Structure 1
Amino acid sequence: MVPSRPLPGTCRTLLLFLLLVCGLLSPGSQGQEFALRVQPQNPVLHAGGSLVVNCSTECPDPKLLTLETSLLKEPVGDGPGWVAFKLSNVTSDSRVLCAGFCNGSQMISPSNITVYRFPDQVELAPLPPWQPVGKNLTLRCQVAGGAPRSQLTVVLLRGQEELSRQRAAGEPTKAEVEVTATVLAGRSDHGASFSCRTELDLRPQGLGLFENTSAPRQLRTFVLPVTLPHLVVPRSLEVGTPRQVTCALDGVFPSSEAEVQLALGDQMLNPAVTRSRDRLSATATVTALADQEGPQDIVCNVTLGGETRESRQNLTVFSFLGPILNLSESSAPEGSIVTVTCMAGARVHVFLEGFAAAAPGQPAQLQLNATEIDDQRSFFCSAMLKVDGEVLNRNTSVQLRVLYGPKIDRAKCPERLKWKDKTNQVLQCQARGNPAPQVHCWQEGSSLEVPVGTPFFVNLKYQGTYRCQAASSRGTYTLKVVMDVQGRNRPFVTIFMAVLVIVGLVTVAVALKYVHGVKRRGIYKVKQENASLPLTSVQPIETVAEEPS
């Protein structure tokens, strides 16, 4: 009778070995005529599966047909010349023996059970966060489980491209096996997906090709040049005055992934970053604070792939207060004393109207007795500060207003005016003063007012004496003007007519005298007796008197 449960491991192995030895040494086995068959022969079974094994023979009277195995078995049927057992929970490769006796001779037929299992784990080891372009990258595929290992292949992939194909070595009972491959990282690998795949090829056993692929991992490659960023900053920076700084670096890949930081000392700036192909440029506005006065550093950091390139430039933060120009009175009455003061911050040298202050940081001052000519006078102050070998200059000005009473310029407003009747004229009796005065001219003895500074039509009614008065809050000023209006062209016509009459009378008298003189003048005759004789005059009978010259 065949036991339903397997013997303990050591005893079971010894029993199988003894049976095999006895069978080999048995004289009957050498002359065995009938074969013992095992079905299926050398089966392949998924781990944990079940299998029915049939032992059969053509021996007419077989004895003690059985299946020797270390696996859990259960009889499922028998008949003349055969017996069948079910093997359950097959988890490892095993060897089974069908055994029996025929005519006193022992029969033995072995069969190997191959157990296959898919890998418990197929994983690509984590890739570095960033991989420098031009450096070797080692891919590591970790495989746990999987059998039979002789038919298990590990493939490393970039996308669908095979990078490496290797047999999975080692025993499947070991926790893990690692398969590696090395590739040279390039720019084209940035963003590429890498994975690994196992292939359990059971096609020779009539089953098929079983694949198991790991989750993909994405690679990021980068290029960060050894050159330092180009940093452009001003030599000096005034407190409270915004200035621009720029930082640029060429040859950065991928520039979209690079980070830029700009800082003035401990003050972080907020740069605007532009990226064009492999060029990275950052611009920021920096405004220094009062507590940063003195030497400072502007620092630019470009970070990519865990690497940093840093540049720094020195500058001087300074305060330049002023110049501040003040008047003791911005509107001073005429005759008052006005003080003009110019000052600036520490270390600043000021110049007021070309005269320097006693020392840097000291004010410059002057005084004047305000007069009319000082009205709208501008005072100039310049300030000079040396910062890091550079001379900075600033200027300011202020205007003085002098309050003085109204005055009318007699040169423009003469005492006597001679104008012709029925003409357009302008009375230029305008006044100066601060505040600006109002000027009015009235005819004495009447309410007739003449406009000042604008054209008006003159006639005989404007003849007379006028009082012109300029008035403002500073007082009044009065002048008298005599306006002589003459009739248009009458004396000239009278004189002209008299001259014409006299000229006419003289002309008539001269003409009459001339006619009378011609009648009394002598007549000359020529005597032609001899052509050779000279001409002689014939004296008139009467003597004519000589015309007075």
Structure 2
Amino acid sequence: MDNTPMVLIFLGVFVVTEGAQQPSAFELSVWPPAPVVEYGGSMELNCTSTCRDPDARGGLETSLTKKPIGNGTGWIAFRLVNITEWRSSPLCFFQCPEIKTARASITVYRTPERVILEALPTMQVGKDYNLTCQVLNVAPIQNLTVTLLRGQELLHEEMLLSASITKAENVTVTHKITARRRDNGMEVTCRAGLDLRPHGQLFENTSLGVRLKTFAFPDDPKLQVPDIIETGTDTTMQCQVVGVFPSEEAQFNLSCGGESLEATVRAQGDTVTAEARVSSLTAGELNLICTVTLGLKTKSATRTVGFYTLPPPTLNTPATREGENVTLACDSPGVEPTNVSLRIRDAARTLTSGRERPLRFTLAASEEDNGREFVCEVEVSVMGMSAGKETSGKLSVLYAPKMDNASCPSDQTWEEGTEQSLSCTARGNPTPSVECVKDDVALKIGVPQPVTRALTGSYRCTAKNTQGSADWDVSIHVRYSDPDILLITLLTLGIGAVASAAGVAYYMYYRAHKIRKYELQQASLKKAQELKRLNGGGMANHV
């Protein structure tokens, strides 16, 4: 049992009774004054005084296990072992002859055993999430600083200076963050720092990194598909989401009537589109569903589509003769009569409509009806909407040939020496053959041929087909002109006269030119002879 307190009481009494007679002064200190020791560790404590009395007594009052390790004049040293008390202040005392005391304040620490940063779920952009860090079994927490980092960016730093807990505890620090697109893929860490300076050192421990994953899925998917689809046909079903991030991670499931469809997915920016081919061989209503999953969100779009069966309608346009009545029949076999309406129309208007099967329309056939196009339309009602098909046909009206001045001009004038072809046709069904004859000689129709005076005359043109024949007269006039003998004679005489006049003029010009040239030559010769004579006579006289 430690009897130090009793010793101090005794020494105190002694100081009181004796100190008044022999007062003295000395200093007492403890080293180190603020020791830092790990939980369960050991340390040395030295009590030192300025007292030089070799008989002075000193000691250490503490509840810790102590062992004296040395002493001398004015000092005494102890070793404290297995320190497990979180708060301890050993008391040094010395009597010289009075008693003085000095305390050491021991800081017992435990480094962070583990630092754990809790994983975060996939975070939706714009929403808040708690970032939680746990520091396990650390003391003293007053010296603890917990730092949360996003990459190298400081998110939060917390110091627990005001904590009053003295033993080792688990510390939890929570910080709220708002998810951002740019946080996707970034790493967050938690760092715990136990700072015991200046008497001790800085101990740090860092958690494993947590990779952030963010997503944006603001809008519901949009499903585009026709409201009604014909059975046996392929139709594109398109599902699109806008504003998603990261768009390449969006997962689609497209189904028709509970059966999954093979989809093609493409992303462009923050828009993702999935397409699939949808079809059904049976009529009825089916649900088309597009389900999109991104992050922790799943959204769906559903459309009810009506599949219907509608074969092409039939249109009966029998051949008829001009003047006879003909009945057109429009029908839609294979469709329930209650859902069907029929219509017969031409290019200009609707001729008749109704629900009776078949729908009929009668008209008196004329030449103008030949080749006339009629359309049979069928329309069914599916889920309050209409779908239709149509078939067209042309009416054939048989009639005898007909000719007039428009198709076969009765007067045609040609120029002799040119190439011309006879223009003459006839209306009729079947298409008539046409022959034009003069004096039992047929003139080819539509074939270019040289024009001579012999083609002049009246031709009987006859058109024939299975319905009858028609005749038409055509007159061909050939324009020509004979040579004018008097004009040719006059032109010949005129040309001769001009040639004679030109000859006489040339002769006169030639004669005058020659005579003039001769006269000049004679004068020049005469002058030369005269000069020669004069020169010859002079030389003779000189000799």
Q: TM-score range by the shorter chain?
A: 0.5 to 0.7
What is residue 101 of structure 1 aligned with on the other side? 95
What is residue 308 of structure 2 aligned with on the other side? 318
Asked if residue 176 in structure 1 is aligned to residue 166 in structure 2, the reply is no
Of residues 136, 140, 150 in structure 1, which corresponds to 2:142?
150
- The one-letter code matched in structure 2 to 1:192 is M
What is residue 337 of structure 1 aligned with on the other side? none
What is residue 112 of structure 1 aligned with on the other side? 105
Cα 1:24–1:191 change in 2 (3 A) is farther
Cα 1:300–1:36 change in 2 (3 A) is same
Cα 1:350–1:253 change in 2 (3 A) is closer
Residue by residue, what CA displacement relative to the aligned partner does 1:299-342 show, whole Å, maximum 9, x if unpaired? Answer: 22233332333322221123557999xxxxxxxxxxxxxxxxx9
Distance 1:306 1:184 in 2: 16
Identical amino acids, percent of aligned pairs: 35
Cα 1:247–1:33 change in 2 (3 A) is same
The structural deviation recorded for 1:245 is 0.4
Distance 2:285 2:292 in 1: 23
Asked if residue 223 in structure 1 is aligned to residue 216 in structure 2, the reply is yes
- The one-letter code matched in structure 2 to 1:190 is N
What is residue 242 of structure 2 aligned with on the other side? 250
Kindly indicate whether the alpha-carbon contact (under 8 Å) linking 2:313 and 2:389 is maintained by their aligned counterparts in 1.
no
Of residues 355, 367, 387 in structure 2, which corresponds to 1:391?
387
The structural deviation recorded for 1:189 is 1.7
The structural deviation recorded for 1:117 is 1.9
- The one-letter code matched in structure 2 to 1:391 is A
What is residue 49 of structure 1 aligned with on the other side? 41
Asked if residue 302 in structure 1 is aligned to residue 287 in structure 2, the reply is no
Distance 1:24 1:114 in 2: 30
Distance 1:208 1:83 in 2: 27
Kindly indicate whether the alpha-carbon contact (under 8 Å) linking 1:124 and 1:215 is maintained by their aligned counterparts in 2.
yes
Kindly indicate whether the alpha-carbon contact (under 8 Å) linking 1:119 and 1:146 is maintained by their aligned counterparts in 2.
yes
Residue by residue, what CA displacement relative to the aligned partner does 1:424-455 show, whole Å, maximum 9, x if unpaired? Answer: xxxxxxxxxxxxxxxxxxxxxxxxxxxxxxxx
TM-score, normalising length: structure 2:
0.54
Kindly indicate whether the alpha-carbon contact (under 8 Å) linking 1:385 and 1:393 is maintained by their aligned counterparts in 2.
no
Cα 1:112–1:395 change in 2 (3 A) is same
- The one-letter code matched in structure 2 to 1:158 is R
Structure 2 residue runs without a partner (length 5+): 315-331, 343-354, 359-375, 393-543
Distance 1:29 1:49 in 2: 40
Kindly indicate whether the alpha-carbon contact (under 8 Å) linking 1:50 and 1:89 is maintained by their aligned counterparts in 2.
yes
Kindly indicate whether the alpha-carbon contact (under 8 Å) linking 1:144 and 1:177 is maintained by their aligned counterparts in 2.
yes
- The one-letter code matched in structure 1 to 2:195 is D
Kindly indicate whether the alpha-carbon contact (under 8 Å) linking 2:256 and 2:286 is maintained by their aligned counterparts in 1.
yes
Cα 1:96–1:384 change in 2 (3 A) is same
Specify the SS of the correspondent of 1:34.
coil
Residue by residue, what CA displacement relative to the aligned partner does 1:396-415 show, whole Å, maximum 9, x if unpaired? Answer: 9xxxxxxxxxxxxxxxxxxx
Kindly indicate whether the alpha-carbon contact (under 8 Å) linking 2:46 and 2:77 is maintained by their aligned counterparts in 1.
yes
The structural deviation recorded for 1:95 is 1.3
Asked if residue 233 in structure 1 is aligned to residue 229 in structure 2, the reply is no
What is residue 190 of structure 1 aligned with on the other side? 184
Distance 1:22 1:138 in 2: 61
Of residues 200, 207, 219 in structure 2, which corresponds to 1:214?
207
- The one-letter code matched in structure 1 to 2:174 is T
Distance 2:234 2:11 in 1: 104
Cα 1:95–1:275 change in 2 (3 A) is same
Specify the SS of the correspondent of 1:188.
helix
The structural deviation recorded for 1:235 is 2.5
What is residue 442 of structure 2 aligned with on the other side? none
What is residue 132 of structure 2 aligned with on the other side? 140
Distance 1:131 1:185 in 2: 6
Asked if residue 77 in structure 1 is aligned to residue 66 in structure 2, the reply is no
Kindly indicate whether the alpha-carbon contact (under 8 Å) linking 1:343 and 1:350 is maintained by their aligned counterparts in 2.
no
TM-score, normalising length: structure 1:
0.53
Specify the SS of the correspondent of 2:198.
helix
Specify the SS of the correspondent of 2:142.
helix
Q: How many residues align?
A: 345
Structure 1 residue runs without a partner (length 5+): 1-6, 325-341, 352-358, 364-380, 397-549
What is residue 481 of structure 2 aligned with on the other side? none
Distance 2:10 2:26 in 1: 18
Distance 2:28 2:201 in 1: 30
Kindly indicate whether the alpha-carbon contact (under 8 Å) linking 1:97 and 1:110 is maintained by their aligned counterparts in 2.
yes
Specify the SS of the correspondent of 1:203.
coil
Residue by residue, what CA displacement relative to the aligned partner does 1:227-247 show, whole Å, maximum 9, x if unpaired? Answer: x32221123234453321001
- The one-letter code matched in structure 2 to 1:202 is L
What is residue 197 of structure 2 aligned with on the other side? 203
- The one-letter code matched in structure 2 to 1:270 is E
- The one-letter code matched in structure 2 to 1:183 is I
Distance 1:23 1:136 in 2: 67
CA-based RMSD of the aligned residues comes to 4.1
Distance 1:244 1:101 in 2: 103
Taking the TM superposition and a 5 Å limit, the aligned residue runs for 1:483-522 are: none
Specify the SS of the correspondent of 1:86.
strand
Distance 2:234 2:151 in 1: 51
Distance 2:239 2:91 in 1: 82
Specify the SS of the correspondent of 1:90.
coil
Cα 1:83–1:16 change in 2 (3 A) is closer
Cα 1:19–1:144 change in 2 (3 A) is farther
Distance 2:281 2:63 in 1: 87
Identify which range, 303-312 or 387-396, moves more after superposition.
387-396
What is residue 128 of structure 1 aligned with on the other side? 121
Kindly indicate whether the alpha-carbon contact (under 8 Å) linking 2:233 and 2:280 is maintained by their aligned counterparts in 1.
yes
Distance 1:66 1:270 in 2: 89
Kindly indicate whether the alpha-carbon contact (under 8 Å) linking 2:123 and 2:129 is maintained by their aligned counterparts in 1.
no
Residue by residue, what CA displacement relative to the aligned partner does 1:158-215 show, whole Å, maximum 9, x if unpaired? Answer: 111112222125325364222233333322222222222112223322x433221122
Cα 1:46–1:174 change in 2 (3 A) is closer
- The one-letter code matched in structure 2 to 1:123 is I
Distance 2:12 2:94 in 1: 13
Of residues 252, 258, 275 in structure 2, which corresponds to 1:260?
252
The structural deviation recorded for 1:120 is 2.1
Distance 2:19 2:158 in 1: 46
Cα 1:384–1:179 change in 2 (3 A) is closer
Kindly indicate whether the alpha-carbon contact (under 8 Å) linking 1:322 and 1:344 is maintained by their aligned counterparts in 2.
no
Kindly indicate whether the alpha-carbon contact (under 8 Å) linking 1:61 and 1:102 is maintained by their aligned counterparts in 2.
no
What is residue 163 of structure 1 aligned with on the other side? 155
